[in-house]
Structure 1
Amino acid sequence: MRRLRRCLLATALAVTLPLGLSAPAQAHGRSSDKPRIIVTQDGEVDDMDSFIRLLYYANEFDLAGIVYSSSRYHWAGDGGTVAPYRWTGTAWVNQYIDLYAKLYPNLRKHADGYPTPAKLRSLYKIGNVSNVSEMTQVTEGSEWIRKKILDDDPGPLYVQAWGGLNTTARALKSIQEQYEGTASWPRLQRRISQKVVIYNILNQDATLDGYIKPNWPDLKIIDNQSQFWSFAYLWTRQVPADYQYALKAPYMEKNFLTGHGKLLEQYRTYRDGKPTPGDEENNRWRPDENTAYAVHDFISEGDSPAYMYLFDFNGLRSSENPTYGGWGGRFAPNATGWIDTTDVNTFTGVADRAFPQTRWVADLQNDFAARADWGVTPRYRDANHNPRASVREGLDLSARPGQVVKLHGRGTDPDGDKLSYRWWQYTDADTYPGAVTLSDGATASFTVPADAVRGQTIHLVFEVTDGGTPALKHYQRVIVTVK
């Protein structure tokens, strides 16, 4: 079990459960191997594209909710004094799930664990959507989140804010109104603060600072305030030129937009002639606008880092600790949890707030391209699948300054593809402030620097790439702690 999850679980179990909460989920046999997530979103074009990608990766999660919320960019209005603003409606989620249903039989041929379309539909709830920051109403969505927060699973429960946090805030406020002032309240609040982890994309309404932080000061927040932009509308300013091919029209057309089924036909790209009804202000679909981008260039998935952070199937172990980094970015500790931070851009040599995300763009796009193939490929042998990497010595090691560490990596491939190997040091994730010299190939060795101090860590990534199309990777992160 992942280290962060172990910590949260241990704390949750140590707290006596208040009235209304039953025994831990493990007593009922629920698997905790998959990250448990609730998605809240506001229906913008990039939410739609992020949701499409999520459906192809739905087997990697214990999906506990899909909740429609509002934001400062989108709200439904109240049918009276509050008019709708850039409102795209709520029907598209079920439409996308219906299209997922057509891919579902094929996806199951390539990987286990894909949820049934009926299961996904049962998770879809409408939350607080009438206005930006509206959290006075108790809604179907807020009640769903409230019940998941109070259920018998000890956590962690990752609540992702692709839009505003107002529906989540309403759920927390409903709990506070029910229990505050009772004998069980301090223990319950402590338990919830250990269980719930919010992944926040930008601040898309006022409820995080206005309600959640003042009333739930110990709730952990992974705060992505700027890194997400590198996988959003203005990506050409942030993604290194060498990786931009994976976001440009020829790649998008070949791997996603052509011949990959009805769901990916809904995937929005720049200047594609596909308007989004209700959002007239978003003119990025217009062929005569945004001419700096080609027709069918990638447009935006600014919310996908919220769940890509939890991609542990790739071996990067990013969910163990937000400071480790992975396909969902990298973060540094702050007063309320973690906030997005910098990596040194290997092309410029300069600390770059986008690079913790953009360094993985080609890899994560190739991975998505393979899953797009899965959806339209009924036979396992006719598509590519990820190789598997392993390290003989294990993933958590300790060594003294001056000690030689030898690491034996190995790769296997379910499709029989030829494999290539690389070891590299993720210096930005290290707490040792320096570099080590690694030998190349599947077997690597290095000497722990003489100036390394007890407790410092060195992060080494073993990367296995297959020879398939698209080329896929699997990693193993070895963390060497100085003793």
Structure 2
Amino acid sequence: MTLPLTAATAAQAANEDGNSQGQNGNSQGQNQGSSTTKPRIIVSQDGEVDDMDSFIRFLYYSNEFDIQGIVYSSSRYHYAGDGVNVQPFRWTGTEWLNHYIDLYEQIYPNLRKHADGYPSPEKLRSLYKIGNIDNVSEMDKVTEGSEWIKKVVLDNQPGPLYIQSWGGLNTTARALKSIQEQYQNDPKWPDIQRKISQKVVIYNILDQDSTLNGYIKPNWPDLKIVDNQSQFWSFAYLWTRQVPAANQYALKAPYMEQNFLNGHGPLLEQYRTYRDGKPTPGDDQNNRWRPDQNLTYGVHDFISEGDSPSFMYLLDFNGLRSSENPTYGGWGGRFATNASGWIDTTDVNPTTGANDRAYPQTRWVADLQNDFAARADWGVSSKYSDANHNPTASVREGLNLQAKVGQTLTLHGRGSDPDGNKLTYRWWEYTDADTYAGTVALSGADTATTSFTVPADAKPGDTIHLILEVTDNGIPALKHYQRVIVTVK
């Protein structure tokens, strides 16, 4: 049975918390006109500072996912040691995650006032498992975490199942190896392996241990990998070298202090920034917290969320449809196909005119930061009316269209806003996501209605990606998009 790679075909049965109704009566995903089926995900992480910050953001967006597991793994940068032969290396312990869930519990009642589907703290605690943490690439031990991943991989829920690797892949590798050891002598093994390979999608951030190339790819050659080898750096420690100057304000101290660090509740009090004077116990080698270090960064400048792209590309409530196909691009970056699935690729940076491997991520920085800022407000706002919420965009003609060369298409956009805010409209062509090699001329691009003529040099099968942005005038200003894909007949 073929399981297509699209969030719209994820498991129909969400967990009991994912189906709960918030007090505003609509889930954020439903407000945005997206599929009500949430992506099934397992998060694995290694406890680095940027994992901690990514996990904080993840908790604010946890209502958008059907979370199947939160698993602690090691990496080449962080491991616990085995108490005998292997000494701990930059080990931050495993209790910080429980502490963050405790802090999430304090803002959970407020979050539920603004959107449905936030998982209960008890549910999150039940999903937290310790995996293979003793050493880098260690996958010999069967652990609680590996057995949990194995169980979810083998369940009867349809795919896809997204396994996100914020650290090493060793716990996931151990789970797959346990499945192989159990079933490889079974006559049905080829069918079992095929079904799993069609179901599981791994999102890999860098190669943080050797198990992807050493075990997973050789033994599971048809398993799909979304491989982010460099694009993530644009939302990580070296962001000043990657993010265009026009978008850097959303990562600088004044923005961070106003929207996250000051007066936004106990969970965001744990959010780490450059030179903030808050050491990370166990990771003495990471000196970025020290006020006398990294002087090119201001105190409270954004530090890193290098792992957040792995879940941001699944955030289809925004209307960008990036989970349908990683080549489309969205808040989690954009990818090109390769032998194993997808690899991070380039967009043309309009500032430099060059193909830029960071720009598929950095083009969205201001938007995704504003969206997070609104959710930060949700956590401290006990009334729906005390915070901003995303507008809703739609396109009368639909999102998947066909047109002939020379045909003129007119697209009618429409927006509404739950807070009664004023809306503005903008249409633009995402040329990097197109398979058509040229560009189209949009009329009325700054209005709700746009039109264009399919160019004469377009070939049958070419696709043209048009993005409608609807932006409110709330604080912070929020957007909802619609992606119209026009296929040339």
The answer, yes or no, to whether TM exceeds 0.5 is: yes
Displacement of 1:7 in angstroms is 9.7
Whole-angstrom distance in 1 between the partners of 2:119 and 2:6:
23
Alignment CA distance shift 1:7-1:116 (3 Å): closer
* Distance (Å, rounded) in 2 between the aligned partners of 1:4 and 1:169: 21
Counterpart of 1:337 in structure 2 is 341
CA separation of 1:402 and 1:293: change in aligned 2, threshold 3 A: same
**Structure 1 segment 291-440 matched on structure 2, within 5 A:** 291-439=295-443, 440=445
Find the residue that maps to 1:313 and give its secondary structure.
helix
Q: Which residue of 1 aligns with 2:191?
A: 187
| 1:446 and 2:452 matched | yes
Q: Structure 2 CA distance, aligned partners of 1:378 and 1:8?
A: 34
Tell me what 1:5 maps to.
6
Letter in 1 for 2:153: I
- Hey, what does 1:85 align to over in structure 2? 89
String of CA shifts for 1:116-152, please: whole Å, max 9, x gaps: 0000000000000000000000000000000000001
Structure 2 counterpart of 1:199:
203
1:115 pairs, out of 114, 119, 130, with 119
2: CA distance between counterparts of 1:425 and 1:282? 41
Q: How far did residue 28 of structure 1 move? A: 12
Does 2:483 align with 1:477?
yes
CA contact (8 A) 2:72 2:145 kept: yes
Q: Please report how far the alpha carbon of residue 281 of structure 1 lies from its aligned counterpart in structure 2 after TM superposition.
A: 0.1
Q: 2:456 corresponds to which letter in structure 1?
A: A
Question: 1:224–1:425: structure 2 CA closer, same or farther, 3 Å change rule?
Answer: same
Retained in 1: the 8 A contact 2:4–2:160? no
Instruction: Write the letter of the residue equivalent to 1:69.
Output: S
In 2 relative to 1, CA 52–121 (structure 1 residues): closer, same or farther, beyond 3 Å? Answer: same
Q: CA deviation at 1:6?
A: 7.8
Match in the other structure for 1:463: 469
The residue type equivalent to 1:460 in the other structure is L
Q: Deviations over 1:256-293 (max 9, x none)?
A: 00000010000000000010000000000000000100
**2: CA distance between counterparts of 1:265 and 1:113?**
24
Could you tell me which amino acid in structure 2 is paired with residue 426 of structure 1?
A: Y
> For residues 28 and 476 of structure 1, what CA distance do their matches in structure 2 show?
28
Contact 2:442 2:450 in 1 (8 A): yes
Q: Does structure 2 retain, via aligned residues, the 8 Å contact 1:331–1:339?
A: yes
Give, in whole Å, the separation in 1 of the partners of 2:289 and 2:183: 48
Q: Is the 8 A contact 1:25 1:152 kept in 2?
A: no
Give 3-state SS (helix, strand or coil) of 1:464's partner: strand
Residues 476, 8 of structure 1: CA spacing in aligned structure 2 closer, same or farther, 3 A cutoff?
closer
Task: Give SS of 2:164's match.
Answer: strand
Aligned to 1:283: 287
| Paired AA for residue 429 in structure 2 | Q
Indicate the SS of the match to 1:47: helix
Question: C-alpha displacement at 1:5, in angstroms?
Answer: 2.6
2:225 to 221, 227, 235: 221
Give ranges in structure 2 of 5+ residues lacking alignment: 20-35
Per-residue Cα deviation, 1:11-66 (whole angstroms, up to 9, x for no partner): xxxxxxxxxxxxx9669999871001000000000000000000000000000000
Query: What letter matches 2:449 in structure 1?
Result: T
| Structure 1 stretches of at least 4 aligned residues deviating more than 4 Å after TM superposition | 6-9, 24-32
Preserved contact between residue 128 and residue 167 of structure 1 (Cα < 8 Å): yes
- Given that 1:3 and 1:320 are in contact with CA atoms closer than 8 Å, whether structure 2 keeps it comes out as no
Q: Is the 8 A contact 2:202 2:225 kept in 1?
A: yes
CA pair 102-208 structure 1, distance change in 2 beyond 3 A: same
Q: How does 1:97-108 map to 2 (within 5 A)?
A: 97-108=101-112
| Aligned counterpart in structure 2 of residue 70 of structure 1, from 55, 74, 83 | 74
**Seq. identity, %:** 77
- Give the distance between the partners of 1:157 and 1:128, measured in 2 at CA: 20
- Determine if contact 1:257/1:267 at 8 Å carries over to the other structure: yes
Which consecutive unaligned segments of at least 5 residues does structure 1 have? 10-23
Q: Secondary structure at the match of 1:67?
A: strand
Matched-pair contact (CA < 8 Å) for 1:419–1:465: yes
Q: 1:430 to 1:3 in 2, by over 3 A?
A: farther
Q: Does the 8 A contact of 1:8 with 1:194 survive in 2?
A: no
Q: Residue 97 of structure 1: CA displacement?
A: 0.2
Give the counterpart of 2:38 among 11, 27, 34.
34
Secondary structure at the residue paired with 1:300?
coil
Find the counterpart in structure 2 of residue 55 from structure 1: 59
**TM-score scaled by structure 2?**
0.94
Instruction: Please point out which of 140, 152, 155 is paired with 2:144.
Output: 140
The answer to whether the 8 Å contact 2:14/2:66 transfers is no
Cα distance between partner residues in 2 of 1:411 and 1:27: 29
Do residues 126 (structure 1) and 142 (structure 2) align? no
- Cα distance, 1:4 vs structure 2: 2.8
**Deviation readout 1:371-390 (Å, 9 max, x if unpaired):** 00000000001100000000
- The number of aligned residues is 468
User: SS in structure 1 opposite 2:159?
Assistant: coil
Cα distance between partner residues in 1 of 2:171 and 2:42: 12
Q: Residue in 2 aligned with 1:256?
A: 260
The structure-2 alpha-carbon separation of the partners of 1:358 and 1:166, relative to structure 1 and needing over 3 Å to count, comes to same
Q: Residue deviations 1:378-424, cap 9 Å, x none?
A: 00011000000000000000000000000000000000000000000
Matched residue of 1:131: which SS?
coil
